[in-house]
Amino acid sequence: MAADPLTETLTIEAATALITQALEAAGTPTPAAGSVARALVAAEAEGQVGHGFSRLADYAAQVQSGKVRADATPICHQDGPGALHVDAGDGFAYPALELAIDRVCAAARIQGCAMVSITRSHHCGALSIQVEKIAQVGLIGIMMANAPPAIAPWGAHQPVFGTNPIAFAAPRRAAPPLVIDLSLSRVARGKVMHAKKSGSSIPEGWALDAAGQPTTDPEAALAGSMVPIGEAKGSALALMVEILVASLAGANPSRKVASFFAAEGPPCGAGQFLMALRPLEGFAARVESLLAHIASLDGARLPGARRADALAGARVQGLCVPRHYLDAARALAAPLD
């Protein structure tokens, strides 16, 4: 089969190096650039293209405009034995998440349960990547995040909530962690932005225009609202996330979170909320029994199986990335050549 001229395959290591170099050229210190690059490449590898290379140009532009403080150092405060707070300092979310996960896991090993809130943060990409880190050290991980307004309260047309994703990961015996990651919109808003940048339409049922009518135009969708999963139930879940991430933690509510895409404007001020729980004795056996029963049912598929397959394929075959994203990344990195 002939190679696709619109895409290019490169290794995970090469992709990470390219994004790091591009961000450094934009003015990001090397440690933060590496943290962001690892997260974007991990998202690309698991098939979440809306959180991968497609974000790089926007991130670089926000560094150059000062909307993101690329040199910010996240600071962790201990609010109680099992309660922590990380101030991301209006920098990238990923260095703050690395600090938060390190500290919350340490506290959970002692306390049995710990939580950490992150404020003055930015776009945090694929939550699956973060909760998996918690499960990889033997703990149960839960994460929530808010985002610029994208979902209207059910029955209304004006967006109030972000897509407000929720993720969960549990350790397993002799197998990668079970990872569940879902946006509370029917699809992640990043997929709509990816469609806009790619010049393609979106399926009907993903979004509504500003008048509350179904649309297949990504421009109209971004100016309107995303359809929540489960209709009123999804809207209620988005409210729950909003309270934990913003009202409890002190981050901006979604309606005040600045765009993750626009280069100009104030810092985003988004928030993230994570929990780590230490499993009790017998947990592993009970989980394996449950998952084995599900897997034995005709037609059943464990959540995250497609993601795991994509990761395994990327490690062996590399990442297949649209060439226009790679061209843009190389153009950004050119000053360092």
**Total Cβ atoms within 10 A of residue 120:** 23
One-letter identity of residue 156: A
Stated pTM of the model = 0.92
Rounded to an integer, the average pLDDT of 91-101 is 98
Q: Are 222 and 208 in contact (CB under 8 A)?
A: no
Residue 308 has pLDDT above 60, yes or no: yes
Q: Are 113 and 277 in contact (CB under 8 A)?
A: yes
- Looking at the chain, list the stretches that DSSP marks H as alpha helix, in order from N- to C-terminal side: 12-26, 30-45, 56-65, 93-111, 127-136, 189-198, 218-223, 232-242, 283-296, 305-317, 323-333
Instruction: Give bridge partners of residue 214 from the DSSP assignment.
Output: 208
> pLDDT value at position 1?
45
Percent residues over pLDDT 90 in the chain: 84
Rounded to an integer, the average pLDDT of 36-53 is 95
**Total Cβ atoms within 10 A of residue 287:** 17
Provide the phi-psi class of 184: left if phi over 0, else alpha when psi is between -120 and 50, else beta: alpha
What are the tokens at 242? 């909003």
Which pLDDT band, with edges at 50, 70 and 90, does 32 fall under? very high
Which pLDDT band, with edges at 50, 70 and 90, does 212 fall under? confident
> pLDDT value at position 188?
77
Residue 15 has pLDDT above 60, yes or no: yes
> pLDDT value at position 237?
96
> pLDDT value at position 336?
61
CA 269 to chain CA centroid, nearest Å: 15
Residue 255 has pLDDT above 90, yes or no: yes
> pLDDT value at position 5?
76
Instruction: Give bridge partners of residue 225 from the DSSP assignment.
Output: 208
CB contact set of 291 (below 8 Å; sequence gap of 6+): 172, 178, 302
Task: For residue 334, count CB atoms less than 10 angstroms from its CB and return exposed for 0-12, middle for 13-18, buried for 19 or more.
Answer: exposed
CA distance 250 to 237: 19
CA distance 154 to 27: 42
Q: Are 57 and 328 in contact (CB under 8 A)?
A: yes
Percent residues over pLDDT 70 in the chain: 98
Q: What is the pLDDT of residues 170-190, one digit of tens each?
A: 999 989 999 999 999 988 777
